[in-house]
Structure 1
Amino acid sequence: MLQQFLHQLLHALKNLLPIILVVLFFQLVIFQSLPSDPLSITIGLFIVAIGIALFLLGLELSIFPVGKNLANQFARKGSLPLLMIFGFAIGFAAVIAEPALIAVAEQAEQISQGRVNGLTLRLIVALSVGAVMALGVLRIILGWPIHWLMIGGYIIVLLVTFFAPAEIVGLAYDSGGVTTNIVTVPLIAALGLGLASSIKGRNPLTDGFGLVALAVMVPMISVQVYGIWVYNFSSAAAISQVAAVPSQLHWLLQALLDLATMVKDILPMILVVLIFQYLILRRPLAHPAKVIIGFAMVLLGLYAFVLGLKLGLFPVGSLMAEQLINKGYNSLILLFAFTIGFATTMAEPALIAIGNQAEEAARGKLKGSAIRLIVAFGVAIGITIGVYRIISGDSIHYYIMAGYLLVVILTALAPKYIVALAFDLGGVTTSEVTVPLVTALGIGLASSIEGRNVLIDGFGLIAFASIFPIITVMLYAIVVERFSQVRSDPT
């Protein structure tokens, strides 16, 4: 187990390395200075790596094997209601404990001064993902084409965005982007591919992918509807303000309170697994001691991750934003956005895993390495455009609506085998490391530029990082398909 932990720790440090290199390049070459408290930031980044390693190892020991085993047992039972209930429960439990969603919800509550309630936001997103997991299971079983669901769904997204207040749009799209992360992607992908592989007449590439895409899309709708209610029909005076943490509290007491919060966050996932294992299937866990240790690692890893964010990644993002604004060169800000987007995406483990699964399922049509490059390029473009929007002060409505209108058009034109995968790839690009850094960058820029509203302009970068990979992957498939047609028919 120690060897596995060290392997995960090295893997986590490798994923952090591109961010560190980009930050060091800008600090030493562009700014020619170091942060005022480099030791605290370094310790914070190392704690993030330890948290990620513990979290991932805990998932491998407990939640992943138990979740896959449950999915296989339900598939063998052939019970549609049980499969849909299981899909809902797994989707809800995984998202309510998602570290990146917790971080975004806390930031939103603080910036909106309590108008957007962090726990309510998380519950809305988790309920949305749970419902869409049940719908996605039904889609795979009944063989519904994914492209009609995505076209219809994003038309609804665009309509809701048109009426939603500016304060909620960026946050809603970011909330959709962070639902698919280190907890949800492997579970959701395994459920979809497992079902598509076990049902006669289903294709893993066209039917197995798509659950991640649905998990990204539906929260965008529900959070914007929540924002319409909050900003148009609720009384601001009746909404409680965020209570400041008393400075007199000892750090140990605060750490215990944070740990208690982590227990509350991870508890739903544990309860779902135990209820379905013992009460529904009425079978004992295969290796209970290993599962218990795994759950403990998940808990400690989640705690260390959040602690490391506060010490390392959030200060780095805010510091870089402030320095770039003070430098006064917008081109430098855009260059930083592009490089950080490309570097972090290329090292994203969920993207590597999905790319390998897609290459295997596509049987020669796709290359995993090519997919990673195209997706990383899309993320880099998306974050760069998102940063440009913050600098220019343009309304996020027009950018988001134009982006997804292009996505809808490409969905109708792209080869059907790529549609579900393209949307899934848009969901896996926002990693546990990228989300906090990009969120901090957006908030830092909006805080540093005169005339910007942090709640309206600070959020939205994650959304851009999710939209543009969908566009680049679909364009890639259209070009490849067209090129293959020309080669086969020169006339």
Structure 2
Amino acid sequence: MNRNLAAKFKEALVSVLPITAIVLLLHFTVAPMTGGTVALFLVGSVLLIVGMALFSLGADIAMMPMGERIGSQLTKTRKLGLLIAVALIMGIAITIAEPDLQVLADQVPSVPNMVLIIAVAVGVGLFLVLALLRIIFQKKLAIILILLYAAVFGLAIFTSEDFLAVAFDSGGVTTGPITVPFILSLGVGVAAVRGGRSAQEDSFGLVAICSVGPILAVMIMGMLFNSSGGFAADLSIPEVNDFSSLMHAFGEGFPEYFRDVGIAIAPIIAFFIVFQVIFLKLPKTQLLKMAVGMAYTYIGLVLFLTGVNVGFMPVGNYLGAQIGSLDYNWMLIPLGMIMGFFVVMAEPAVHVLNKQVEEITVGAISKQSMLLSLSIGVAVSVGLAMVRVVTGLSIWYFLVPGYAIALGLSFFVPKIFTAIAFDSGGVASGPMTATFLLPFAMGACSAVGGNMLTDAFGIVAMVAMTPLVTIQIMGLYYKIKTKNDSARLAEGIREAAAADEEEIIDL
């Protein structure tokens, strides 16, 4: 356990240090901050590192095994009605409590928080059912995604542009640190029992389908609300003059996130207890291990969310405003790309996905290659999002060609890469994107005098889109390389056979 925890701390440290260094570099150059603000950010960084390490270890010990066992048991019962009911209720319950969604709801000024949260949660619940039914009935993921995104872009024509970016953002934030480990492992459990030649590919794709539900739900909701009303969340930096006020700023956040995370985890624990009593009947030693893992998950996520919300969100907004107000605000584009490259490394759910990809593909797709592909994709997406902030270009010019390329690639790459790519899009746009990059874009947008709803919102959507392309390009490279290696092997066998035949003739 100690060795695993040390490895998780090292991984978290490597993930968070680069973005911390970038913020400090900006502080000492183009966007100086007060000493209290820097202290706020540094304490947030420490909480981020500790929280990520504990959460990641807890997900390995508890969240993933729970999801797999519930998924496999639901499939073994062969009761379709039970599977649909459980998936719908769990999808809605987990999403309502997803911390990322609350962060987004606080920042959307035109819709009451609970209305947005309920609409998104129902979308996730319905599409989680659809995703599980796809595995059971062995339907092709690429065809389903094409149909779903055809519906999305068809409905988008009738949606107010003020809600378009928010709708696509909601699809990204719902697949956060609570939802992703459980949904991914649920898919693994169902696919393992279902079996068949496509079991490996079927393990992925649930996050991809679940991300579509919120987009459609918010688009429909947008037809019922006036985008001009309400106020966004206050992103001002807490006043920190001494150690006492610094501790007070974080002390105010802890109780809130203890409650929020408890509410988020409660449905998963309740469902698992029910399944344990009725179906699983696991030994006490295994249950104790899972209980310890849930404690790690709980404490880690509380620390992580406190760090990013108290220490990162206001600083991101401040930096965006400072750089956006410069005469050379075009710097937002390269800076956004650099931050995007490193921010994705600090997303807890990314490490969960990468680990599962490496395990299921038996090392054929390594964690390092996945992380590099995701980082490049997110760097491009944040750069494009900053282009929108600076120029005011419509999100249509980016989403339509981006998804067209992604869906087109799905016909040429191995199926597993398509499933992983579309899952990666939802996973990459987690709490770090919602609490650092989105406030950064909002601050920059305010400084350049843009429209907050149309120009700043949409950055989560961009982050969720570009990994679809980069991961599939990696899959295309993998396919070509495998084909070339097979061709060289076959050529070597033919040459060896020809040489043996010549020797026999000479004899």
> Structure 2 length as normaliser, TM-score?
0.81
Q: Which amino acid aligns with 2:193?
A: S
Q: Which amino acid aligns with 2:68?
A: K
Q: Which residue of 1 aligns with 2:497?
A: none
Q: Which residue of 1 aligns with 2:83?
A: 83
Q: Which amino acid aligns with 1:140?
A: I
Distance, in Å, in 1 between the alignment partners of 2:435 and 2:62 is 26
Distance, in Å, in 2 between the alignment partners of 1:456 and 1:49 is 33
Q: Which residue of 1 aligns with 2:461?
A: 463
Q: Which residue of 1 aligns with 2:24?
A: 24
Q: Which amino acid aligns with 2:385?
A: G
- Mark the CA change 1:54 to 1:371 in structure 2 (over 3 Å): closer, same or farther: closer
Larger Rg: 2
Q: How does 1:189-338 map to 2 (within 5 A)?
A: 189-231=184-226, 256=255, 259-278=258-277, 281=279, 283=281, 286=284, 295=294, 298-338=297-337
Displacement of 1:317 in angstroms is 0.8
Structure 2 residues not aligned, in runs of 5+: 239-247, 489-507
Q: Which residue of 1 aligns with 2:121?
A: 126
Displacement of 1:460 in angstroms is 0.9
Are the counterparts in 2 of residues 162 and 397 from structure 1 also a CA contact under 8 Å? no
Q: Which amino acid aligns with 1:461?
A: I
Are the counterparts in 2 of residues 62 and 294 from structure 1 also a CA contact under 8 Å? yes
Displacement of 1:284 in angstroms is 7.5
Distance, in Å, in 2 between the alignment partners of 1:289 and 1:159 is 50
- Mark the CA change 1:33 to 1:154 in structure 2 (over 3 Å): closer, same or farther: same
Q: Which amino acid aligns with 1:468?
A: T
Distance, in Å, in 1 between the alignment partners of 2:9 and 2:296 is 13
Superposed CA offset, 1:112-158 (max 9, x none): 1xx31222222222222222222111111111011110000111111
Q: Which residue of 1 aligns with 2:476?
A: 478
Superposed CA offset, 1:423-481 (max 9, x none): 1122222243343111111111112112x122222211111111111112223433554
Counterpart among 164, 180, 200 of residue 185 in structure 1:
180
Q: Which amino acid aligns with 1:100?
A: D
Superposed CA offset, 1:8-36 (max 9, x none): 455433322121122223333x4284544
Q: Which residue of 1 aligns with 2:105?
A: 105
Report which stretch shifted further, 402-411 or 312-321: 402-411
Q: How does 1:346-425 map to 2 (within 5 A)?
A: 346=345, 348=347, 350-359=349-358, 361-362=360-361, 366-425=365-424
Distance, in Å, in 2 between the alignment partners of 1:275 and 1:124 is 27
Are the counterparts in 2 of residues 93 and 272 from structure 1 also a CA contact under 8 Å? no
Report which stretch shifted further, 186-195 or 351-360: 351-360
Q: Which amino acid aligns with 1:477?
A: G
Q: Which residue of 1 aligns with 2:13?
A: 13
- Mark the CA change 1:392 to 1:254 in structure 2 (over 3 Å): closer, same or farther: closer
Distance, in Å, in 1 between the alignment partners of 2:71 and 2:148 is 26
Are the counterparts in 2 of residues 322 and 444 from structure 1 also a CA contact under 8 Å? yes
- Within the alignment, does 1:44 sit opposite 2:39 as a pair? no
- Mark the CA change 1:205 to 1:269 in structure 2 (over 3 Å): closer, same or farther: closer
Distance, in Å, in 2 between the alignment partners of 1:144 and 1:259 is 40
Counterpart among 121, 131, 153 of residue 148 in structure 2:
153
Report which stretch shifted further, 269-278 or 184-193: 269-278
Superposed CA offset, 1:345-378 (max 9, x none): 3465544553454455446864543333222211
Distance, in Å, in 1 between the alignment partners of 2:233 and 2:319 is 28
Displacement of 1:337 in angstroms is 0.9
Q: Which residue of 1 aligns with 2:429?
A: 430
Are the counterparts in 2 of residues 427 and 466 from structure 1 also a CA contact under 8 Å? yes
Distance, in Å, in 2 between the alignment partners of 1:437 and 1:153 is 30
Distance, in Å, in 1 between the alignment partners of 2:337 and 2:204 is 28
Report which stretch shifted further, 267-276 or 147-156: 267-276
Q: Which residue of 1 aligns with 2:164?
A: 169
- Mark the CA change 1:194 to 1:116 in structure 2 (over 3 Å): closer, same or farther: same
Report which stretch shifted further, 266-275 or 338-347: 266-275
Displacement of 1:413 in angstroms is 4.2
Superposed CA offset, 1:310-343 (max 9, x none): 3211122112212212333244211111111112
Are the counterparts in 1 of residues 313 and 436 from structure 2 also a CA contact under 8 Å? yes
Task: Tell me the secondary structure at the aligned position of residue 230 of structure 1.
Answer: coil
- Within the alignment, does 1:443 sit opposite 2:438 as a pair? no
Are the counterparts in 2 of residues 209 and 421 from structure 1 also a CA contact under 8 Å? yes
Task: Tell me the secondary structure at the aligned position of residue 189 of structure 1.
Answer: helix
Report which stretch shifted further, 144-153 or 169-178: 169-178
Report which stretch shifted further, 348-357 or 221-230: 348-357
Superposed CA offset, 1:235-256 (max 9, x none): x88xx87899xx9xx9878865
Structure 1 residues not aligned, in runs of 5+: none
Are the counterparts in 1 of residues 51 and 301 from structure 2 also a CA contact under 8 Å? yes
Displacement of 1:410 in angstroms is 2.6
Distance, in Å, in 2 between the alignment partners of 1:228 and 1:407 is 28
Task: Tell me the secondary structure at the aligned position of residue 320 of structure 2.
Answer: helix
Displacement of 1:76 in angstroms is 3.3
Displacement of 1:298 in angstroms is 4.6
Q: Which amino acid aligns with 1:206?
A: E
Are the counterparts in 2 of residues 70 and 277 from structure 1 also a CA contact under 8 Å? no
Are the counterparts in 1 of residues 167 and 216 from structure 2 also a CA contact under 8 Å? yes
Residue identity over aligned pairs, in percent, reads: 29
Distance, in Å, in 2 between the alignment partners of 1:438 and 1:194 is 34
- Mark the CA change 1:290 to 1:374 in structure 2 (over 3 Å): closer, same or farther: closer
Displacement of 1:62 in angstroms is 4.5
Distance, in Å, in 2 between the alignment partners of 1:331 and 1:260 is 41
> Structure 1 length as normaliser, TM-score?
0.84
